[in-house]
Structure formats: structure tokens, C-alpha cells
Amino acid sequence: GELAQPPADVPGLTIAPSPPERPDLCLALGGDGTILRALRNYAESGVPVFGINYGTVGFLASAEASDLDRGLERAFGGEYEVIELPGLEAELADGRKIAVNDVSFTRNAHERVAELAYSVSGQEVGRVRCDGLVAATPVGSTGYNLANHGPILAWGVEGFVVSFIAPHTLTARALVVAPGDVLHVANVGDRNRVEVGVDGTKAGQLGPGEEVHVRFR
């Protein structure tokens, strides 16, 4: 939907047509989805993101909406510690996508189960009929990956975890991948496309015989 726009006549407030490339600080007011979008927008730029939670969970927020005044004082006064978060880089057909939480590969609703294969360092590790596959950062390991019974990675761990969604086998296991290894995810099915998601938002599709590379950043 359309974003609500503040009034244009507020003293000291200038509405920019698009976010600046290198602000001193990005202030994100919203839920985790909004904060994730801000983190992706300023990934690799060195711009700190200060989130104020107006959502349900607020896992990535630095302050709560109920403490807005104090949160703004801290943000504009520099009273915060910058924590660098690792991400994942997915090479899709329309370009590079950065994920803070996870990159997911899921079958389309009402279609046949997907058949996915993934390899690490050129060696195939798994080939499974399933509903999908998730590659998650340490921060994202408590989300979609945890629902797949994947291991939780502590913040600061170098590497990421790969887990299957509803695998049609009892032998599929989650795998922790070293930071220098490239993950290759292939759609080895012969009919249906697979949806590719970045932090829970649609980012593209993986057709039969196509492959995506995912790297730790």
C-alpha cells in the first residue's frame, strides 16, 4: 500500500523524494520488516540503523514506541553502540540481493512439491523433495530456520545455516556452512518454478534447471 506522508509544512522537516545515499543515521520507525528493509538499503554503506519498534516483536529494534522521546534523544545524541551484522548475498537473474535474516526457496502454493539440491564447495550435500530450503544468518537463525528445526547460531558466529522446509525424507539434516564457502541451490525439478525470498519478501523465481549462488557477507 501507499506510505503515509507527513504534512509538508512542519518546521525543520524536509521530505526527500528518496532516501539519501550516506546519511549520518537511518531512523526506522516500524516493525522488524521495516527495520530489515532499512538495514538492506544501507548494507555495506557504514550507515547505522536505529530502529524504534512499532510492530509486534521488535527483535531488531533499539527502542520501543512507548519510549519514543528517550529513543529519539539516544539516536540523535549518539547514545548507541554500533553492531555489525553479517548478511547473505544471493546472485539472482536480475542482480545481487542482500539478506539480513535469510534467503528462502519455497514451492508455489497448490503446486507439486519442489525438488531442490544444494552443494557447498562444489560437492552436492543434499537433494530432497520438499516444500523449500532456507539459508539463514546467525541473526535469522531464530526465525524461519528455527521453525525447520535448524540449529540456532549465536550472534558473532562466522557462517550460516541451511535447512529444509518439510523435507519428504527422514535423512535431511540442517548444515552449518563456513563463511568462505559458496552455497549453490538448484531447482532440479522438471516442471515448476520455486519462489526466492529475501527476508520474507519476494525477490525472484528459480526455474527448472536453474541455480542460485548464496555467499556469506
Distance CA 116, CA 18 (A): 38
Distance CA 208, CA 210 (A): 6
Q: Which are the contacts of 215, defined by CB distance < 8 A and separation ≥ 6? A: 88, 89, 91, 182, 183
Distance CA 41, CA 123 (A): 33
32 is catalytic: yes
* DSSP 3-state of 118: strand
What is the Cα 35 distance to its own chain's centre?
11
Buried/exposed code over 134-147 (b: 16+ C-beta within 10 A; e: otherwise): bbbbbbbbbbbbbe
Which run of H or E residues covers position 74? helix 68-77
Which residues lie across from 61 on neighbouring strands?
Answer: none
Give the active site residue among 24, 32, 69, 102.
32
Amino acid identity, position 204: G
Burial tier of 41 (Cβ tally within 10 Å: 0-12, 13-18, 19+): middle
Return the active site residues.
32
